[in-house]
Structure 1
């Protein structure tokens, strides 16, 4: 079980690679949504802070299960104790479903199980709803999604990751999907206690077209990109964890011995952005912030150029693994070479802290991966920027009857059950004995469990972000405490927590910057090329977009607090 979060410029890759291994998958990815337009279309912008507050469900904290580590500074909650099936709580005492049939289209990474399998049957019986899955390949989901939303044959429920909200999909969301406000806004949500316990920020992200339309998968707002390192090797060799950019460079040179096939790290660009305090690049609106009364975009800042220059120096110094120099590290699994010690540090999604540990537990018991605290480039505290508190949403067909909508909410109320409940175990592990076994308080999926219990029901709605690894409780503790420490240095930019639709004329304005970043840090382009690209960006619409965002903020207010 890993936190349902991810962040960073390529979170789509992280989610696709980890979705089949995680208990819940989420995290705000790009890009668009919309605001107070008509029912059938969209209007550029967002929903104002005042309007949003009137739409949000009341928050009622759950009291069924108490976490071992409460959330702090935007972290997930953590559980470090072994699992006792005899002590599992019940969060849904009676079936809320009325026996109807609900069709759900959702992205799926891997091979979907056949319909009517033991997992689906058990979940449907628990909920009181006959859920029929229309799973689609997650790697090509956007194309399928666009085709379905353009047709008249839309399933009862459609799951939409925010990184797929491109082109006409945001408008289709507002035109095709139901307003859930009458069922969930204010005190109405109390009919569904597990949904009432979903954090308010995640619900705010579920407002599309001035209506509460989405059922969210909440995520921590703390960055999900961690500089992971080989703690066991550090301790053996006497390496100290660096606390500045200069210390990192010195350490990297000390570690690297190309003749012995050891390098310090992979591409550290994402860590550089964190260390130099660069605004988030995970979603376009998060890259904007109000600075001394002026709206500024991340690529315009000195910090952005400084982060690229520092990363370029790492490559130039020869301390970066050759795979990263060739760009292979972004396309291949870094695990084997990390485990063999070819490199000792890499930046990746926090879920890999657990997955790398689990991979090596048997064959390499001395192996220990840990998360390095993000350092300020100058040795001081870092300035980190919050990610979005939800990024995958389930929507209900606008044509659905009230009975179907209530059946969908009955499904969501079960899938949003907290860790430590019967509903959570059923959603994430299936049927004991068939899909998983428990030994010494650690649940392990059977072969059948790995076939049936994949990313299906968890895609409808999720509980508050949760980290729980009964097999490696020290990792769960380490992950949550890392989030809490980094959360203390995390700020929310002007458009945190808001669904934003940029005018379509700006859609592709900044699309080429990530490739240029990679060319610069690898020495194929120069910093001057970036400065020219930023100048071109301004003249081609960046300055107009700046004015648009400033007016949006003036009119709507900020959700950041």
Structure 2
């Protein structure tokens, strides 16, 4: 059966995947079969000691790069033949390999030419769909976690890696083994391990980030609102619309929901699942968000412009607050146009009426990296490439992978690599989406950045709320979640702008339930029941 791009993009990969799965042998994608898989044994790399250690939730922090980075891998991972890779990249398309000295040096280190087909974040899903529909798979494939019916796709098209990665077998690839076990749950389908995780979790946890320098200029140091009202008052103080300055880049509805204890996507209690949409506090959260919009503390273009515009407002000082992650925190420094005074920090999440709020843990994975069944390379070679890409902070491999070649791509400030403009452009080829180590908190030449990040994580570390559906598969969620979420997000936007009444939320939730939400719940509850005691 051929799969058209139109079918894929319309959510019709469901039918296509069923057809592909029918041509394959092996276990079905049942919760019991997946839970029975022995996940890789976690062995944290002990070769580098952090300045501020993490604890499994809080990430390790480094105040400077080690003076003598360890060369952790002596064997060339490639097999001498070209290896193809399909990925998104977050920045501009970099120079091609024949004009990119970083890419050329990478190929020498890998012992194989890495041929990368890349697209921007906004365009990647279309490109991914086209390649899948055409049966034109690269050796290494970056699969977005929200791809419809991943189990059928990987079963038909990708290598089963279980024998190479399950349990202690992963010790052959020590830097893949240093990815904590929980991240591997998102790579198990059809009773087998079909991919390598690109971990996020705490690094993707989002908080109210603020321009510490802008607040300090107004005499505000160490802001710590203890309720929504204080949060609102702070936003009011930082807004000067006549000067084109607003407190927020967008409506901080997620933060308000966390103040009110709304679940992170799905909550599970006693085997029963409930969605964040259904929580009773949503109407109060929407009322509070409407209050902020009506007060004019949100940039008025927030409902029209993309995330890239919001980042420009934050960096340019048009807005003092943005809701974003620890990964974005670093990116703000990379994009800084305000000079040496530029400083970012984060607010803790207070309870709506006092006490503590319930911050949401970030999504576990950025993507799943899988290998094509049709690849002419052995699974061992492709896993060695992934292992090389996962060498952690403090190693020489990490230094090269993230910063390039000294003198061209960065200069040393003490022991810290400070990227050049050429370095930023040439290194942006998407290697982090083959595999990556868990994020280390660090910014070259600015030890205050990891200190602040570490302190912010310590504040929320004992109470992060996780999505209870992680590691469980719902076929309906796989097929319908994107459209269902868009419908609810559009309704939120209309309500907070005052274009629809808050009372419409209840009707929206009822429609969400009948359009697939209830079926997703039933499937998640069954998946959980199927794994009970396993």
Q: CA deviation at 1:133?
A: 1.9
Provide, for residues 230-269 of structure 1, a one-character-per-residue CA deviation record: whole Å limited to 9, x for no partner. Answer: 3234344344431111211233334434445443333211
Q: CA deviation at 1:323?
A: 2.6
The aligned residue for residue 104 of structure 2 is: 121
For 1:186, which of 161, 167, 170 is the aligned residue? Answer: 167
Question: For the residues of structure 2 that align with 1:389 and 1:450, how far apart are their CA atoms?
Answer: 26
For the 8 Å contact 2:205–2:363, the answer to whether it is kept is: no
Question: Is 2:294 aligned against 1:316?
Answer: yes
The aligned residue for residue 40 of structure 1 is: 24
Q: Is the partner of 2:48 in helix, strand or coil?
A: coil
Alignment of 1:423-442 (within 5 A): 423-442=397-416
The aligned residue for residue 470 of structure 1 is: 444
The aligned residue for residue 144 of structure 1 is: 127
The aligned residue for residue 237 of structure 1 is: 218
For the 8 Å contact 2:82–2:115, the answer to whether it is kept is: yes
The aligned residue for residue 95 of structure 1 is: 76
Q: CA deviation at 1:329?
A: 5.3
Alignment of 1:260-299 (within 5 A): 260-266=243-249, 267-280=251-264, 287-291=265-269, 294-299=272-277
For the 8 Å contact 1:98–1:129, the answer to whether it is kept is: yes
Question: For the residues of structure 1 that align with 2:140 and 2:395, how far apart are their CA atoms?
Answer: 25
Q: Is the partner of 1:531 in helix, strand or coil?
A: helix
Structure 1 pair 500–476 and aligned structure 2 pair: CA distance change class (3 A) = farther
Question: For the residues of structure 2 that align with 1:448 and 1:260, how far apart are their CA atoms?
Answer: 36
Question: Is 2:381 aligned against 1:404?
Answer: no
Provide, for residues 208-239 of structure 1, a one-character-per-residue CA deviation record: whole Å limited to 9, x for no partner. Answer: 23221111111134752221223234344344
Q: CA deviation at 1:119?
A: 2.2
Q: Which stretches of structure 1, 4 residues or longer, exceed 6 Å deviation after superposition?
A: 41-45
Q: What is the TM-score with the length of structure 1 in the denominator?
A: 0.83
The aligned residue for residue 422 of structure 1 is: 396
The aligned residue for residue 55 of structure 2 is: 72
Q: CA deviation at 1:512?
A: 0.2
Gapped regions of structure 1 (runs ≥ 5): 1-30, 281-286
For the 8 Å contact 2:145–2:367, the answer to whether it is kept is: yes
Q: CA deviation at 1:131?
A: 2.2
For 2:285, which of 307, 320, 324 is the aligned residue? Answer: 307
Which range moved further: 256-265 or 88-97? 256-265
Q: Is the partner of 1:478 in helix, strand or coil?
A: helix
For the 8 Å contact 1:102–1:131, the answer to whether it is kept is: yes
Structure 1 pair 439–518 and aligned structure 2 pair: CA distance change class (3 A) = same
Q: Is the partner of 1:306 in helix, strand or coil?
A: helix
For the 8 Å contact 1:112–1:135, the answer to whether it is kept is: no
Which range moved further: 308-317 or 129-138? 129-138
Q: CA deviation at 1:348?
A: 2.3
The aligned residue for residue 371 of structure 1 is: 346
Q: Is the partner of 2:486 in helix, strand or coil?
A: coil
Question: For the residues of structure 2 that align with 1:147 and 1:360, how far apart are their CA atoms?
Answer: 36
Q: Is the partner of 2:126 in helix, strand or coil?
A: helix
Q: What is the TM-score with the length of structure 2 in the denominator?
A: 0.86
The aligned residue for residue 158 of structure 1 is: 141
Q: How many residues align?
A: 512
Which range moved further: 545-554 or 439-448? 439-448
Q: CA deviation at 1:92?
A: 0.9
Question: For the residues of structure 2 that align with 1:38 and 1:60, how far apart are their CA atoms?
Answer: 37
Provide, for residues 492-519 of structure 1, a one-character-per-residue CA deviation record: whole Å limited to 9, x for no partner. Answer: 3432344543367755444300011111
The aligned residue for residue 524 of structure 1 is: 499
Structure 1 pair 152–292 and aligned structure 2 pair: CA distance change class (3 A) = closer
The aligned residue for residue 192 of structure 2 is: 211
